[in-house]
Structures are given as structure tokens and as C-alpha cells.
Amino acid sequence: MDTIEQFQHYVIGTYARTPLVITRGQGSRVWDDKGRCYLDFVQGIATNIIGHCHPAWVKAVSEQAATLVHTSNIYYTENQGRLAQRLVEKAGPGKMFFCNSGAEANEGMLKLARLHGQSLSGGKEGVRSNIVGAQMAFHGRTFGTMAATPQEKIQKGFRPMLDGFSFGEFNNLASFEKLIDDSTAAVIVEAIQGESGITPATIEFMQGLRKLCTERGALLLADEIQCGYGRTGKFFACEHYGIKPDAISMAKGIAGGFPMGAFWVAEPYCELFHAGSHGTTFGGTPLACAAALAVLDVMEEEKLMDNAARMGALLADGLKDLVAKNPDKLDCVRGRGLHLAVASKYNIALIDALRSNGLLAVAGGNGAVRLLPALNVTQDEVFQAIDIFGRTLSSAKLG
Ligand SMILES: Cc1ncc(COP(=O)(O)O)c(C=O)c1O
């Protein structure tokens, strides 16, 4: 039985998988089981931010694997302390909680919202427990995060959803203004909606939300799982908007492909959690934190946020040029830094054709062909990707 047959027989079919068996990766390239090389602009869906198998990451993870992998959170471990300090230095006064995925990080923020609401209601539960989110958002697949994700394709089959969520129109401040009241504990938002096709929030929207939350006593929770961690050219996407959220979730890039999630909570709200109020067996293991520390080191040493801004601008320019030359096939380019999408009514066929020509891209909502390369992608690799994109548009039958 080959690998694809094994999956068909033994792996639950929750993914419409691409018929490609990837066996090896290095930097911005991967190889399939037939030895064919691809330029990887998916990178585990925005996850391997220092590329595949970066030597510094491999060294850190191998050494840590040979030293101490896991202890649980009933003990102190050095790497978690170091990582927490470095992330708090980036996010601002507050504290970190480490978990294992993006959905878990958002779950933690939703629980924070409940604790906040309770503290505003003199300790009474359920009075101020509502959460306002945005239409078209994606926050995860657990029951809490699914309830925060108002999309039929995500919620279908799993109702009833958790109570207490309402949704405003993304980038329409007036629609949020109507929803945020004295029953609202928090607002959760992505500064750039990722899964729904890379749609950036406007400055007015994000600044307006910050102001509304402050005025009405609700927490502003930023889901930076996809748009954060340097991908847009700044460490947090919210920095482009000149606002400080009260909590920020992170995952994807944080440990360079090793499963990890985290959330930061600003002072004084970080003190709402106490011993026993939240937890996870695996969160912040010495191994995951070693991977994450290596990612931060590489990001700093190789100035990867600058590279993301520069390479992102080059890639966006090349793609805009292709949009101008192919108005029948492409609609527009969206995004910031290396968080980019080209919109096309043929996005699925286009992604298949790009793969046949050696470039991996991933679909998103709103007709998106998402390009989410590693932050250390080179100029040559960006030009190669644009070249493959251009050749694919000229040769592929998309309609
Ligand atoms: C913005 C955002 N939030 C949350 C998640 C969920 O993360 P995970 O798949 O690690 O649970 C994702 C994953 O795509 C995401 O893009």
C-alpha cells in the first residue's frame, strides 16, 4: 500500500488533501516521494517561518531532545521562563501562557474574557460573558473557537454552538458599536483575516475598536495566529495600526513548525488567572520552547522582519504586474509583507497548475491563492515564484 492509500484506509478524511507526498524540506524548498523539488510558498500554512530545517533550529531542537523534552507544568523549566520574558519584552507589560495550537491559544483568550466579565460583575458569573467577533473570521475548530467563527462550513453539523457570541461586519465599526454593550466581556478580531482570504482591517476600524472596547470596558483580543510573528514586517500586525490589544494569541510561526501556541495578556488582566484556572499537560515544554527560542534568535540575527517587508513588497509588485497583465484571470493582490494573496475566480485550478509547475500555494476564502513563504525567502526565490506564476497564467487552461 502506498502512502496515499494508507491515508485513504487509516486516516480520518477531514482534509481534501493535495495528491502530493512530501518527504523532505530545506529552506524554501520541499521534495516529493518521486524526488521532484517544489518552491514552498505554503510552509505548513504560514508556520515554518525560518524555512524547513534551518541549521540553528535543528541544532537547538536536537540538543534539547537529548537533554530534556517534557516535564509538565507542575515544575519550572528554564526555556519557558526565557521564552516568556522575550515575548513579554515584545508585547508589553503582562504575562504569557503556553499551549500547543492556535485554537487552544484562542480558547485561553476566550476564558480570559469570561474571567474579566466576572470581575466586572462583582464576581457574578454569566452577567457579562458575551463576546463580539467579526463575520468571515477564523479562530479555530474547538467548541469555543468554532462558536467565534461564524462560517457555515465550519459550524455545520456541530450545533448547538456555545452561547454568547455575536458578530459585526469586518471593517464596519458602526456594526460593532451596536453590539458592544454592558453584556460584552470582549471583542476578538484578526488585524488581517487570514483563512477568509487575507483581508486587512482598516486603520479606522482597528483604532475605533480599541477606543470602543476601552470606553465600554470590554477586552480587545487580537488573534495574531496567522498575521503575527513578523510575517507582515512588524512583530505583531497590530503594530501597523498603532494599537495595543489587551491580549494577543500566537501559534503557527512561534516554534518554526514545531506545534506550539501561546497567548499574552496585558497587565493587570494577566492576574485574572490563578493556579488551577487554566492548564495543559504539554504547553511550553522545554523542547517546544527551545524551538521557539531558536526561531527568535534566527529572526533577530538574520533581520527577518526587514526581509519579510522587503521580499513581501517585491512579491506583491510582481503579482500586481501579473494582475494588470491578466485581468481575465486575476482580480487583485491583498495583504501585507509576506502575508499575501492573489484573488482569482480560478483559484483552485490555478493552485493545481502552479504545483504542476513547481510552486506550492494554498487556497483561502474569497478566491484567494495565498502565498505565505518563510520569512527568510530570498530575492531569487521570490523572482522564481513570480516567473512560475507568470508562465502558469500563460499556459494553463483555467476556465
Ligand atoms: C487566525 C487563525 N486563528 C486560529 C487558527 C487555528 O489555529 P490551529 O489550527 O493551530 O488550531 C488559525 C489557523 O489557521 C488561524 O489562521
φ and ψ at 182, to 5 degrees? -80, 10
**Which segments of the chain does DSSP mark as H helices, in order?**
3-10, 43-46, 55-65, 78-91, 102-120, 143-147, 152-155, 173-179, 203-216, 286-301, 304-325, 347-356, 379-395
- Please name the residue whose Cα sits nearest to atom 9 of ligand 1: 102
User: How is residue 80 written as a grid cell?
Assistant: 519557558
CB of 381 closer than 6 angstroms to any ligand 1 atom: no
Using a pLDDT cut of 70, give the percent of the chain over it: 100
CB of 101 closer than 6 angstroms to any ligand 1 atom: yes
Sign, CA torsion 272/273/275/276: positive
**pLDDT of amino acid 17:** 97
Enumerate residues 6+ apart whose C-beta is below 8 A from 145.
103, 106, 107, 110, 139
Mean pLDDT of 240-257: 98
pLDDT at 265 > cutoff 80 = yes
| Cα 391 to Cα 385: distance, rounded to the nearest angstrom | 10
Q: Which of 139, 188, 193 to mutate to test the pocket of ligand 1 (most atoms within 8 A of CB)?
A: 139
pLDDT at 378 > cutoff 80 = yes
Mean pLDDT of 39-51: 98
Query: Does the domain made of 3-40+303-395 have the CATH classification 3.60.21.70?
Result: no
**pTM for this entry:** 0.98
- Please name the residue whose Cα sits nearest to atom 8 of ligand 1: 102
User: How is residue 119 written as a grid cell?
Assistant: 470581575
For β-strands 219-223 and 199-200, DSSP reports them as: unpaired
| Cα 50 to Cα 57: distance, rounded to the nearest angstrom | 9
**pLDDT of amino acid 384:** 98
Q: How many CB atoms lie within 10 A of CB 100?
A: 21
Model confidence at 62, pLDDT cuts 50, 70, 90, reads very high
Of the CATH numbers 3.30.450.80, 3.40.640.10, 3.40.50.450, 3.90.1300.10, which one belongs to the domain with range 57-301? Answer: 3.40.640.10
φ and ψ at 261, to 5 degrees? -135, 170
Q: Which pLDDT tens digit goes with each residue over 12-26?
A: 999 999 999 999 999
Mean pLDDT of 68-75: 97
Enumerate residues 6+ apart whose C-beta is below 8 A from 162.
143, 144, 147
- Please name the residue whose Cα sits nearest to atom 10 of ligand 1: 102
Q: How many CB atoms lie within 10 A of CB 327?
A: 8
**pLDDT of amino acid 398:** 86
Ligand 1 center from residue 121 Cα (angstroms): 31
Q: What residue spans define the domains of the chain?
A: 3-40+303-395, 57-301
Using a pLDDT cut of 90, give the percent of the chain over it: 99
pLDDT at 397 > cutoff 90 = no
CB of 226 closer than 6 angstroms to any ligand 1 atom: yes
- Angle, helices 55-65 vs 286-301, to 10°: value is 160
**pLDDT of amino acid 368:** 98
**What is residue 193's DSSP assignment?**
E
Report helix, strand or coil for 378: coil
**pLDDT of amino acid 264:** 99
Q: Which of 195, 224, 254 to mutate to test the pocket of ligand 1 (most atoms within 8 A of CB)?
A: 195
Mean pLDDT of 360-389: 98
| Cα 186 to Cα 128: distance, rounded to the nearest angstrom | 9
Model confidence at 396, pLDDT cuts 50, 70, 90, reads confident
